[in-house]
Amino acid sequence: MNPIDSARGASGLFRGWWVMAAGFGCTMLAIGSTTYAFGLFVRPMAETFGLSRADTNLGFILLLLGMAAWSPIVGRMMDRLPARAVMTAGAASFGAGFLLMAVAAAPWMLGVAIFAPVAFATVACGALAANTLTSRWFHRRRGRAMGTLAVATSAGGFVVPPLLALLMADLGWRQALAVHGVVAALLMLLLVLWLIRDRPESVGLHPDGSDSPIAGGSDAAQAAARRWTLKELLGNRNFWLIGLGVGLLFGADQALLSSIIPYGEDAGLSTQQAALLVSCLTVSAIAGKLLIGALADRVDKRWLFALVAFCHLVFLGVLLVEPGYAGLIVASATVGLAVGGAYPLWMTLLADAFGPASFGSVMGTMSLLVMPLSIFSVRYIGEVFDRTGSYDLAFWTFIGFALISALLIAAVGNRPRAPARSEAAAA
């Protein structure tokens, strides 16, 4: 029996957890196969097409740019169309994109495949789609659900690249891409068709499995029942506060993650020792996603974000004083909690401020603000090192980022004003 269509599922779980589980699986496959697995193909693609490493890395930039371009489009689709239709299109696009990369005869063909079908699939079957659905199925337990869902990206990085590397060793990079793309697309399609449902109301339920809907007169109910237009979003104070606050901290995160291994090697560590710092960050990030996500249901999210920003300040301060290896391990484990906790806080802040009816559109539009800050920060930290021979100036800059981000999120309104139209009128 399909757990979504039974009373509460064979295990007695609220059906929203099954929907979240399907989103978890799709996100794990989509992100693990793209952002985490890209490095596996840099060397073989460079050798096949006679590219420099820098030119090959443009593929990753095209993926990020493609995800940014598709996010507002897919977000609006998730708000307007059946989720299963959007995610099915994403799964099909994933398989098609990987097949196109497998048969690409020139670098430009790889670029087109990455920017168009692969980037679209990563958004339509990844975090944006999964978080949009989770925001609809949960209200009181939204933080816990989104914190659990956020672990999917880390799980993808842990599970997918080793399996893909085994395929490459046996089949070569082209056949590995083709086989993996088809298998992953089929798995996504099965999860979507079996478990995904748009809203609890579509199966006669309410968020969190409650016996009654959200109180009609509450701010939460008003936000949940309304949609936001682009003009209203751009004119909304909370949109800019959350986007810039989260974007600055995410930018610092991405820059640190991309540079922590060379930082460690410059400090005299072996490559294996430096790589262990990333492992500590990743493992503690999983704990951070679960812990901060659970606390978000009980504690003011603005205070939690300040705690996350403070952890960044501590880590950056440790990097500036250049401690020994043991100190770096402890600091990496500490900031991992913050790196992991930032994402579920972003998702729950969005859902609280703008409601589930517009979640996809809001997240997609805000990604256009957040993504460029990440790209800038990664480029900036490299430029600083190339010009000064040290990361110190970048670390001081990111200390400023963390302080500003905490102040911006602290200014987010506790009861954001929703637009005056009802959802029905906006449709």
pLDDT digits (tens, 9 = 90+) for 263-295: 887 888 886 777 777 777 778 888 888 888 888
From CA 193, how far away is CA 396, in angstroms rounded? 48
Token pair of 189 as six digits: 């399609």
Chain segment 323-370, per-residue pLDDT in tens: 888 888 888 877 777 778 888 898 889 888 888 888 888 888 998 889
Query: What are the tokens at 255?
Result: 């820059």
What is the mean predicted confidence (pLDDT) over 154-160?
83
Q: State pLDDT tens for residues 170-179.
A: 999 999 999 9
Report pTM.
0.76
**What is the total residue count of the chain?**
427
Whether 423 has a pLDDT exceeding 60, the answer reads no
The mean-pLDDT minimum among 89-103, 149-163, 235-249, 262-276 falls in 262-276
Phi, then psi, of 323 in degrees rounded to 5? -80, 180
Structure tokens at 344: 């579920």
Q: Which of 103-112, 214-223, 251-260, 329-338 is modeled with the greatest confidence? A: 103-112
CB neighbour list of residue 6: distance below 8 Å, 6 or more residues apart: none
Alpha-carbon distances of 321 from 6, 45, 110, 135, 324, rounded to whole Å: 58, 39, 43, 41, 10
* Calpha distance 333→339 (Å, rounded): 10
Encode pLDDT of 178-230 as tens digits: 999 999 999 999 999 999 998 888 777 777 666 556 544 444 444 545 678 88
Pick from 50-54, 368-372, 399-403, 404-408: least confident: 50-54
pLDDT of residue 11: 53
Residue 87 confidence (pLDDT): 96
pLDDT beyond 90 at 399: yes
CA distance 78 to 354: 15
Closest CA relative to residue 136, chosen from 347, 418, 369, 426: 347
**Given this model, what pLDDT does residue 52 score?**
79
Q: Exposed, middle or buried by CB within 10 Å (0-12, 13-18, 19+), for 240?
A: middle
The pLDDT, as a whole number, for residue 422 is 38
* Among 132-136, 161-165, 178-182, 331-335, the least confident range: 331-335
Distance CA 293, CA 264 (A): 30
Residues 410, 302, 381, 66, CA torsion sign: negative
Strand ranges for 187-334 from DSSP E: none
Q: Check the CA dihedral 307-400-149-140 and report its sign.
A: positive
Alpha-carbon distance 300 to 352, whole Å? 11
Average model confidence (pLDDT) for the chain? 84
More reliable by pLDDT, 256 or 420 = 256
Q: At 107, is the pLDDT very low, low, confident or very high (cuts 50, 70, 90)? A: very high
* pLDDT at 54 > cutoff 80: no
pLDDT at 221: 47
Residue range 80-104: average pLDDT?
96
Q: Which residue has the higher pLDDT, 260 or 133?
A: 133
What confidence score (pLDDT) does residue 413 get?
83
Amino acid (1-letter code) at residue 140: R
Q: Which residue has the higher pLDDT, 46 or 90?
A: 90
The position carrying tokens 């100036």 is 393
Continuous segment of H or E residues that includes residue 25 = helix 15-33
Contact 124, 74 (CB under 8 A): yes
Range of lowest pLDDT (2-6, 190-194, 417-421): 417-421
pLDDT of residue 343: 83
| pLDDT higher than 90, residue 15 | no
pLDDT of residue 209: 67
